[in-house]
Chains A and B, each alone.
Chain A
Amino acid sequence: MILPLVIIALLTIAVAAIAMTLRNLIHSALLLIGSWAGIAAFYFWAGAEFAAFAQVLVYVGAVSMVVLFAVLLTRRSRADLEVAPDAIGRGLGAMLAGGAVLGVLFGAVFATRLDVAPTAAPTASVRAIGQQLMGAHAASLLVVGVILTVALLGAVVIASTDREGGKEDAR
């Protein structure tokens, strides 16, 4: 019960940490996809099958593609390759801030008495999720749909090139 969790957690964190330190962007992205998959595995471990598959479908299937495309579309300039002058300072600052947050969070987790009764794993069958989505959360579902549509259109508008003179792809 605990062992898979520990393995998943360690692997995921390790992969994410490596991803965040690599200089090769593609490797970073691919490793990060691995860590997303690890999170999906955690969902699976926790019994949230649907969320796990949704995570895989969305992150591994879709977001990863967007990331990779973004990496490929932004050709790296020479300036990106050399280490920025303030990189070390920023890295130190980041470590400090991150460490502080980590410490605070860990402290909070340890300090809080979580009165958990070890219960049987709750089940979230697809049918139950579907009924929730279509019943209690129907409005949110609609709103999310609208958000996704708007975001899609917005992304297309932002990323599309400004065409001068319009018709350049006339057949």
Chain B
Amino acid sequence: MSLPVQYVWLIPLLPLLAAGIGAVTPRGGVKIASAAAIGAMVLGFFLSCGALATALAHPAAHATANFAWFDLGAGTLRLGWVLDPIAAFMLVMVTFVGALIFIFSTGYMHEDERAKQFFCFLSLFASAMLGVVIANSLLLLFICWELVGLASYLLIGFWFHKPEAAAAAKKAFITTRIGDLGLLLGMLWLYDSTGSLLFYDGGHGVLEPTAVANLNAQLVFGGLALSTVIGLLIFCGAVGKSGQFPLHVWLPDAMEGPTPVSALIHAATMVAAGVFLMARVYPLLTPDALKVIAFTGAITALMGALIAVAQNDIKRILAFSTVSQLGYMMLAIGVGSWVAAIFHLLTHAFFKALLFLGAGSVIHAAHHEQDIRSLGGLRGPMKVTFATFAIGMMALAGVPFLFSGFWSKEAILHAAHGWEVSHLPFYMGLTAVVLTAFYMTRLMAETFFGKARTHASEHAHESPASMTIPLVILAVCAVALSLLAWPSPWLQHILDPKAHAEGGGAGLMVLSIVLVAIGIGSGWAIYGRTTREKATSADPLAARVPGVIAFLGARMKFDELYAATVFQLNAALATAADLLDRYVWDAAVRLLAQIGIFAGLVNRETDEDGLNGGFDATSESLRDTGKAYSRAQTGDAHGYLRTVAIGFVLLVLIVMLGGRR
């Protein structure tokens, strides 16, 4: 089974159709909408497997199918899709994880009366992401990118009757829009300088050596290469979408959406888009740009892990862990190993989806209680959720050998270690490893161990099969995906045959195993050995270092910082603009108006006295004539008909008599 690139557009089309079906089904048609959505994703998964088979047959080739969209003055705007291993892997991942999340949603959302719209939005979301993946044109990618943003807005704000959800949706939308502005600028600049937006076009694409060399050769301000600037602008988009520092603030708030949405955003679709974008445009990135990316990634990884330590909301912890892991991926790209980034993206997608769905299962079971201090003791009633969640946690924490997260994280650390520019990111990454293991252990200990601390968690019960089956499948995948990297790093070969496989690194592996052990051990020592007694009892760590924890708990005061700086600046600018408008421009306009009125006055005087007399007389007489004629308009149909008949007779007579002559 293989799917040629010419038909790869079918994969995003299917969920789009499902979204269309969902849009037109009546309100009660949840069954139809969900069946269409899941069916589209499952079918898309099979097609994606076909696409993967096609891509793996020729791993080095970037199979493309391009077509002209419309003529644009000088040139033709062309769009297209590309099918190479990276895209194919992403397709499989997105459809697979997406399908499982959809199935999970049927269980999670079955009580919601707008569930049908939910599936419609989900399908749109997945469709847009698949579009991003297969796009062979920065423009097409941008279109789908914005659709992803739109769908995320709709989904995060799905429960818009909650003010927090509405605010979170708005925040996510606007924050990512800031990044998208950079992406748009970069795209325009790229089109201006190369005349094309296609990635691969038989030697003419922007990612192919000719164009890249051309871009590298052009210098703009400050001695920077043009490609550096464009790359950084595009990176702005990725920063926004992937929640990198400093635009990460929307990501934790996006937890206000339903849990399957969180899972989809964090695992398969939205945040992955940024990393994918950077991996896609990697050939365009110069070492200068990569430095920025690497440091951004490292800072994000460390910051996310630190904040996660002090959070109490189960989903928020996972959200900051996502921020952190995305930082890892960016770090990997920055240090030049985009393969490791993609590998981590794939493994992270599975176990993060697993974790979020597990969290969703917990929340569903505990009657929408999300605070881990109020949970506890769920190990007993929710065995399946516990087991799968534990697998996910271990994968995220990087428990060695058996779990996929270990291998991908190892690959990133290895690449960071080998970076010539600086070792600082490497050390930041190592710190984050410890912290990751620590906070995940805390999460497990608080949620599943100890005893139930509130009424809700006491009465928790296992979720329905439609929720647990995806969990089990994802757990299996979270383990099985380590096969991609072990025993031999064939993913590396397939994705980037040119790169040389670095061997060794056993010492590094031992180091990271030790670090993970430290993290888990300390976490268990603090939270696991003596479990919390009451929901309100103080956090043991906060008791020791209260200031730090409070600062971290407030998410390093980023929101406040932005409120103090960006918003204030914005307000000041707006005030200035208002003043300018009101007193400068308005004054000028009023002056002009006064001049106009005066001219009008003069004009009227001459007009009325001089010119109008004759016209008045003419129109008076015209009106009289009209009145006279209107008397013929009696409304008597007979009269009309009679007149027509007589007129006809007269006409014929005239013609006949005239014809005689």
Interfacial residues, chain A to chain B (CB-CB below 8 A):
90, 93-94, 97-98, 100-101, 103-105, 107-108, 111
Contacts and interface: CB of A to CB of B under 8 A. Distances in A.
B638 interface: yes
B646 interface: yes
Contact of A100 (B638, B645, B656): B645
Contact of A101 (B638, B648, B656): B648
B653 to A, nearest CB: 7
B649 A100 contact: yes
B563 to A, nearest CB: 53
Interface of B: 638, 642, 645-646, 648-649, 652-653, 656
Nearest to B651: A104
Contacts of B638: 90, 94
Interface SS, A side: helix
A54 B652 CA distance: 33
A98 B649 CA distance: 10
Contacts of A107: 656
Interface SS, B side: helix
13 contacts: A90-B638, A97-B645, A97-B646, A100-B646, A101-B645, A101-B648, A101-B649, A103-B649, A104-B656, A107-B656, A108-B652, A108-B656, A111-B656
Contacts of A100: 645-646, 649
Contacts of B652: 104-105, 108
A156 B127 CA distance: 45
Contacts of B645: 97-98, 100-101
A-B pairs, top 3 by smallest CB distance, nearest first, are A97-B645, A100-B649, A104-B652
Nearest to B643: A97
A43 B149 CA distance: 70
Contacts of B649: 97, 100-101, 103-104
B656 A93 contact: no
A97 B656 contact: no
Contacts of B646: 97, 100
Given A94-B638, A100-B646, A111-B656, 16 more contacts: A93-B642, A94-B642, A97-B642, A97-B645, A97-B649, A98-B645, A100-B649, A101-B645, A101-B649, A104-B648, A104-B649, A104-B652, A104-B656, A105-B652, A107-B656, A108-B656
A98 B645 CA distance: 8
A78 B649 CA distance: 37
A107 B656 CA distance: 9
A160 to B, nearest CB: 24
Contacts of A111: 656
A107 B648 CA distance: 14
A105 B655 CA distance: 12
Contacts of A108: 652, 656
